[in-house]
Structure 1
Amino acid sequence: MTATRFHHVSDWLHLPDASMAVFFLGGLALRRHGDFVALLGLSVAIDWAAVRLAGVSDFCITAAYAALPVAYGVLWYAGRASVARGRPGAASLSIAWGLGTLAAVLSFLISNGAFYWWGGRYADPHWAQYLQRAWQWGPLFVRTTALYLAVVLAAAWCVLRWRHLRAAAPLSKPSDVS
């Protein structure tokens, strides 16, 4: 998250912001409420450092910033909800990806809607303009999150598959090597 959210680093690496994917994956892997609070604190600290120390624009820091815990909470708790009850495999990871992508849509609508309606950056907000702006930016944020999730979940599937094959392989005995 730091490498992609802290704009001087992400601009150099050309990486889009991974925060939404990190919150979903955090809920999936870590699950504890305290970890959510810690990750939320990290995201605020990164933004503070970017604005105060690195001179990044504070355009997005408005009263609407208070909606980020809700937007990130949607992702975290969707990750928690998608934890497989049975044996993890391709099907459960695909379901996790789908749920993560849907959570990204809802999270984006919460954060973007809060910024548009409560941020004070638009003199005369109205639904037509909001829908136009949501359609302009929403697909980018959701697509980026879905791509990060696909890469991480595919890597997780490969690791799980490798572990399964390794556990199923019979151990060779020293006498078999001759």
Structure 2
Amino acid sequence: MTVSTQRAFILSVLVLLMAASRAHVFDHFSPPDASWAVFFIAGFHLRGWGRWVFPLLLALGVAVDWQVISRQGMDFWGHYCMSAGYWGLVPAYAAMWAGGAWLRRHYTGADWEALGRTAAALVAGVVVCHLFAQGAFYWTSDVVAEPSLAGWWKNYTDWLPAYLSTAGTYVAIAAALQLAAERIGPLLRDRSGRTAD
């Protein structure tokens, strides 16, 4: 499998994951929104494709949000979650992408050091992402009647653990798959090479 084929496969999986989790398409099981993790994982795996993949994933997010809100019979900008702060998602998702890209630049293989770097990059990405996403909503939305620094901080810290947990779960699954690919892939190739002999 070529590098481009691998990247295309990863991109396809990330697009499906983001669309399914963001849209809450399942009646009895709605996976948590994977968007933050998708941008982190894309930053790690899709280096070199960022000029077109990052805007593509942003457009996908907007399209899914628009479809979900429209299906509810609401005006897009009239929905509770929509405000001028919606555009804060651009730097928010860029922070997640940058975390994944930083990790990739320092990645030499699956080991304990890589695990520590992954945790550090993810936490930093989520903290900054949440700063932009939540901050933009809090300070620009009509929902917050009397914004204050204390109110913003409480809101920020109340929601941060949940966002970190969700992104962490998806990234942990991706890391386990990465580990399996690095450890099991060579064994399978070695075994098939010996069978061919």
Greater mean alpha carbon deviation, residues 127-136 or residues 58-67 = 127-136
Aligned to 2:94: 73
1:10–1:78: structure 2 CA closer, same or farther, 3 Å change rule?
farther
1:35 has 2:53 as partner: yes
Matches of 1:80 and 1:147 in 2, distance apart?
19
Gaps of 5+ in 2: 1-17
Provide the TM-score with structure 1 as the length reference.
Answer: 0.86
Question: Which letter maps to 1:160?
Answer: E
1:44 has 2:66 as partner: no
Please give the per-residue CA displacement for 1:85-113, whole angstroms capped at 9, x wherever unaligned: 56422346412343123201210121101
Aligned to 1:148: 170
1:2–1:172: structure 2 CA closer, same or farther, 3 Å change rule?
closer
Aligned to 2:124: 102
The question of whether the paired residues in 2 share the 8 Å contact of 1:84 and 1:92 is answered with no
Greater mean alpha carbon deviation, residues 157-166 or residues 81-90 = 81-90
Provide the TM-score with structure 2 as the length reference.
Answer: 0.79
Please give the per-residue CA displacement for 1:24-46, whole angstroms capped at 9, x wherever unaligned: 11111112221001010000000
Matches of 2:157 and 2:33 in 1, distance apart?
18
Mapping of residues 56-135 of structure 1, within 5 Å: 58-84=79-105, 87-91=108-112, 93-94=114-115, 95-135=117-157
How much does 1:10 deviate?
5.2
Question: Which letter maps to 2:96?
Answer: L
Aligned-residue sequence identity (percent) comes to 30
CA RMSD of aligned residues (A): 2.2
Secondary structure of the structure 2 residue equivalent to 1:83: helix
Matches of 1:103 and 1:10 in 2, distance apart?
28
